[in-house]
Structure 1
Amino acid sequence: MPPITTLTELSSYLASAGINYTSLQPLSGGTANFVWRLQTSDGRTSIVKHAEPYVASIPTMPFPVDRMDFEARALERIPRLLGRMDIEVLVKVVGLVRYDAEAKVLVLEDGGAKTLKESYTDPALNIPQLGAALGKWLADLHASTTSLSSPIGDNQTAKFIYRHSYNGLADALEKFGFDRTIGERINERYGSLLQTDDECICHGDFWPGNVLLRRHGVSPPTLTLVDWEMTRRGTGATDVGQFTAEAWLLDRFRGQRGLASAFLRSYVEAAKPSEEFLRRVVVHLGTHIAFWPTRVVWGSEEETREVVAIGKEVLEGALEGRWALDDVVGLGAGE
């Protein structure tokens, strides 16, 4: 297949596929794929997403294109598995319009122009309400797929990428003057489990940047969950830990609006997880906030060191058994 990386190449592909449109707009914000917003003559919009065998923002970095196959499979099958939830905010999986497996082109429902991360500081939004809705939805995803054989396949790429923070944890700790052996112990004991975890279907990249908002006047927005290419079978604790960590960073650096606590409390109330599950949440949360702020800028060098120190303390508590449910929820509240 010829490459589809420019507007000209996409226009040629759309013409060959018989897809009519009136305008195309390249979208920024992602790193792995080429993404555009397509508008038709009736004013409707959809998202076109294409994978090349490399990271779009780093063409020298290979990236298997089967990521599109996993995403399409998830979008086709997961909505049929979910239960009916009684929540005030509509949370949904992004709609699949069509998928060209040969060209690796997904056409998706347009869930909105802004993510929850981008909208976090909007005073019109009830951030705790949105966090609680996402926590309850995620608990349903995990519970609804626990006893099923995987309908999405074995996503080895996702498992490999998901261990990146564990593999880099020791170096991140050492960079800021902390004991690297903590990171090595966490990676050996818990990072290694990512290859064999098989409890339920995980989104695989569950964070506020992959939640799109569609506004409805004064009513709560619809929340659409996108970017399912890292979906895999694993432990739901990693989804919970990742979202809580990113929500905690938003709360800490963007205004303490209570996203992390509302999300985590809602998930725990709905799922009633085991102590071992909660330990895995703590481990993943600590790993995330000790590693990713050293790669993605949230604050100054000193502020980053403070966050890494908190992550280190969380991980030490997990290793030594010095934590309880109230501690997990308390961390979610930014305490």
Structure 2
Amino acid sequence: MSITTDSDITSYLATLDIIPTTLSQLNGGTANFAWRIRDSTNRSIIIKHAEPYIRTNASIPFPTDRMDFEHAALTTLTLPPQPPIDVPIALPSVYHYSATRHVLLMSDGGPRTLKAAYTDPTLDIPALGRSLGTWLASLHASTKTTTTSVGDNQTAKSVYRYSYANLASALASHGFDASLGDEVDADYGRLLQTDDACLCHGDFWPGNIVLATASTPRPAAMVVDWELVRRGCGATDVGQFAAEAYLLDRFCGNRGLCAAFLDAYALAADERGALERKWWGREETRGAMTTRKTITTYWFHHSEPFIAKAHRESHGTVRDIAIDKG
């Protein structure tokens, strides 16, 4: 039986002896059905449910095992002690999971994402960027040699592969040289099946960083939406966040999120051994090109609404933006 309406989820919660005092459906994502409720103790809870398709388009299939991987990440991932950072960063706590109904109940990190809150003048955006860069480097370094029980997330790899395989056509459709997309796909797209350097969040961008409600420039942050978690190359996480942060800086106030994130990641990764030093040098090594080309990939496939505007303003070619200035 599907769970797609308020009535459906209320009936499901009744089987858990949970009677919500408030319930609201969340529409920020595209893949899953989600709600925020308050229970009888006034605890705020986030509920995620996966149907075997994309929530916003039922004609597009999407395996429900994505919820199994998210649950596994949240319940088996043991991170080292948090490094000194300006902003405390946490993962959601799991309250309940049904592998048969694909329903996950977890703690609520707050009402706003970093993407939505970016323009809030009271927030210390560089501090958030530094903290997230340091935290991500810690995640990658601490999972280089450890074996987790997250499993082989072929669903996540197929999602990533789509972006690489279709990059050339996306570039061409906006008047850019498609050969760069072909080069990225040929050199790095195939590696998604074999890269095993560390555990990757899989969808690390400002829209999956939730901020607590607090009267402080540096509110606590929570890293959510782990359904695309996989072992792979950490540059994919770095590239995705950097590309999205670049766009926020470029179009929404130039508040320094991208530079703060990349600088902090590079420093922490160098200290913790998550990334070889040569990645950040001027040599065109695999690491540097992986990071820069991954930024190119996400710049297009996660941020199409900004592309035409950037082109109209003659801000340079994608190669200039994502590689030569990377």
What TM-score does the superposition give when structure 2 sets the normalisation length? 0.91
Equivalent-residue separation in structure 2 for 1:292 and 1:253 (angstroms) = 15
Q: Any gaps of 5 or more consecutive residues in structure 2?
A: 280-285
Alignment check: 8 A CA contact 2:176 2:317 kept: no
Equivalent-residue separation in structure 2 for 1:109 and 1:308 (angstroms) = 42
Q: Equivalences for 1:173-252 in 2 at 5 Å?
A: 173-218=171-216, 220-252=218-250
In structure 2, give the amino acid aligned to 1:36: W
Q: How far off is 1:40 after superposition?
A: 1.5
Q: Deviations over 1:53-111 (max 9, x none)?
A: 10011011110000000000000011x23333111210111221111111100001001
Q: Give the 3 Å change call, closer, same or farther, for CA 308–228 of structure 1 in structure 2.
A: farther
Equivalent-residue separation in structure 1 for 2:302 and 2:218 (angstroms) = 31
Q: Give the 3 Å change call, closer, same or farther, for CA 19–280 of structure 1 in structure 2.
A: same
Q: Percent identity?
A: 46
Q: Give the 3 Å change call, closer, same or farther, for CA 155–309 of structure 1 in structure 2.
A: farther
SS at structure 1 position matched to 2:145: coil
Equivalent-residue separation in structure 1 for 2:311 and 2:109 (angstroms) = 32
Q: Give the 3 Å change call, closer, same or farther, for CA 298–58 of structure 1 in structure 2.
A: same
1:95 aligned partner: 93
Q: 2:318 aligns with which of 300, 311, 320?
A: 311
Alignment check: 8 A CA contact 1:290 1:312 kept: no
Q: Give the 3 Å change call, closer, same or farther, for CA 71–305 of structure 1 in structure 2.
A: farther
Q: Equivalences for 1:1-335 in 2 at 5 Å?
A: 2-78=1-77, 80-218=78-216, 220-272=218-270, 273-274=275-276, 275=279, 276-294=286-304, 297-298=305-306, 301-304=308-311, 310-313=317-320, 327-328=325-326
- Which has the larger displacement, 26-35 or 304-313? 304-313
Alignment check: 8 A CA contact 2:111 2:213 kept: no
Equivalent-residue separation in structure 2 for 1:118 and 1:304 (angstroms) = 24
Q: How far off is 1:277 after superposition?
A: 2.5
Alignment check: 8 A CA contact 1:206 1:242 kept: yes
Q: Deviations over 1:229-252 (max 9, x none)?
A: 000000110000000000000000
Q: CA RMSD in A?
A: 1.8
In structure 2, give the amino acid aligned to 1:280: T
SS at structure 2 position matched to 1:37: strand
Q: How far off is 1:182 after superposition?
A: 2.1
Corresponding pairs, count: 314
Q: Give the 3 Å change call, closer, same or farther, for CA 103–190 of structure 1 in structure 2.
A: same
Q: Deviations over 1:6-56 (max 9, x none)?
A: 111111111122223212111111110000011112322100110011001
Q: Any gaps of 5 or more consecutive residues in structure 1?
A: 318-322, 329-335
Alignment check: 8 A CA contact 1:94 1:224 kept: yes
What TM-score does the superposition give when structure 1 sets the normalisation length? 0.89
Q: Give the 3 Å change call, closer, same or farther, for CA 307–22 of structure 1 in structure 2.
A: farther
1:332 aligned partner: none
Q: Give the 3 Å change call, closer, same or farther, for CA 12–156 of structure 1 in structure 2.
A: same
Q: How far off is 1:308 after superposition?
A: 9.2
The ranges of structure 1 where at least 4 consecutive aligned residues each deviate by more than 4 angstroms after the TM superposition are: 304-309
Q: Give the 3 Å change call, closer, same or farther, for CA 67–13 of structure 1 in structure 2.
A: same
Q: How far off is 1:281 after superposition?
A: 0.9
Equivalent-residue separation in structure 2 for 1:279 and 1:303 (angstroms) = 23
Equivalent-residue separation in structure 1 for 2:321 and 2:217 (angstroms) = 38
